[in-house]
Structure 1
């Protein structure tokens, strides 16, 4: 499966929309996309997972790593539009208590 990423700046927040699956083969592109935004100075990111059907441990690692990086720089990474299957993974891993999760991306 492929992963398609796009970004939209809304005020001070950048919404990253992901479509597809985030797994061992696609997680590196998510990491590069988020790293590029962080290197460009964005500190408030929302990852919209509305169109993500699958998220594995590699994808979780990317999200947690970028969350830690942003928090160390006074920023934040939030998740939005988390579907049931992905929400279950977050609950099982306890990451639902680590990430701020909202229903809407803006």
Structure 2
């Protein structure tokens, strides 16, 4: 909740600067709520408006569980490493 505005601002800035294929490394994320999910979904909408992509890197089971419960594993490509996410073409 406290860092969500910073993430939103960073995603908006990247898209405004012309970066449309983004990778969000969630390794340091200890807590994820609806606010954080909303920021990620908003970022996805922004990049998709430019034919872009937003890939997530996450291997923490407690965070992955949130994506599974909300059905967002069907929306976001989720990878276990940054290298894997960068190399992905799906």
TM-score by length of 2: 0.87
Q: Which of 1, 7, 31 is the equivalent residue of 1:30?
A: 7
- Could you tell me which residue of structure 2 aligns to residue 17 of structure 1? none
Deviating beyond 3 angstroms after TM superposition, the runs of 4 or more aligned structure 1 residues are none
Higher relative contact order (CA 8 A, sep 6+): 2
Q: Pairwise mapping of residues 63-82 of structure 1 onto structure 2 (< 5 A)?
A: 63-82=40-59
Kindly tell me the number of residue pairs found equivalent between the two proteins.
Answer: 83
- Equivalent position of 2:38 in the other structure: 61
Q: Where does the alignment leave 5 or more consecutive residues of structure 1 unmatched? A: 1-23
Contact 2:23 2:56 in 1 (8 A): yes
CA RMSD between the two structures: 0.9
Superimposed CA distance per residue, residues 44-96 of structure 1 (whole angstroms, 9 cap, x where no aligned partner): 10000111111110000000011011112110101012411110110110001
Instruction: Considering fraction of residues, name the structure with more strand.
Output: 1
What is the TM-score normalised by the length of structure 1? Answer: 0.75
Pick the structure with more helix per residue.
2
Structure 2: where are the runs of 5+ without partners? Answer: 84-90
Match of 2:9, SS state, is helix
